[in-house]
Amino acid sequence: MITTTTSRARPRYRYRHQSGQETLQGILVVAFILLPMLVSIITFGSLIHVYIGSQAAAAAGASAAGADGGFGESELARVDEELQTNGIDAATCQVNSSVAVAAFDEPIAVTVRCPQHVGIPFLFERDVQMRSTFVAHSEVNQ
């Protein structure tokens, strides 16, 4: 006994008018959620890079100042060199020292401030001061 069954052909798209809506939703998710997340990850990574670079520059300047017994032009050049080595524009950063000349075992604090602009689409924009301070003790008896 042979039986034949007739099957109805199903339409390929059940709701043909919704296929464009799914594409639009995908585009909006990428534009308003994923893109700002990607930009914020890159921005905060850049901020951490500048912070670590300014810490290294402050440490190098304080170490050099401790070895020379004060903070002068050669120590400032050492800080600028360390900033440039880390890919930070030394012209935009400010360098301050607590003392110009220090007695033996007196602390010398070197502070490096680098302004950074933070902008995340659709969320916020502001300027941030990345500040690092390092303290060393003078090793020279003057």
| Spatial contact of 55 and 132, defined as CB atoms under 8 Å apart | yes
How far is the C-alpha of 142 from the C-alpha of 130, rounded, in Å?
34
Q: What pLDDT shows up at residue 17?
A: 60
Mean pLDDT of the chain: 88
What average pLDDT does range 25-44 have in this prediction?
Answer: 88
pLDDT in tens, 72-121: 999 999 999 999 999 999 999 999 999 999 889 999 999 999 999 999 88
Q: What is the pTM of this model?
A: 0.77
How far is the C-alpha of 136 from the C-alpha of 88, rounded, in Å?
23
Which residues are CB-contacts of 75 (< 8 A; sequence separation ≥ 6)? 61, 64, 65, 68, 97, 110
- Between the alpha carbon of residue 48 and those of residues 41, 58, 95, 117, 131, the distances in Å are 11, 15, 19, 13, 11
Hey, where are the domains in the chain?
A: 25-137
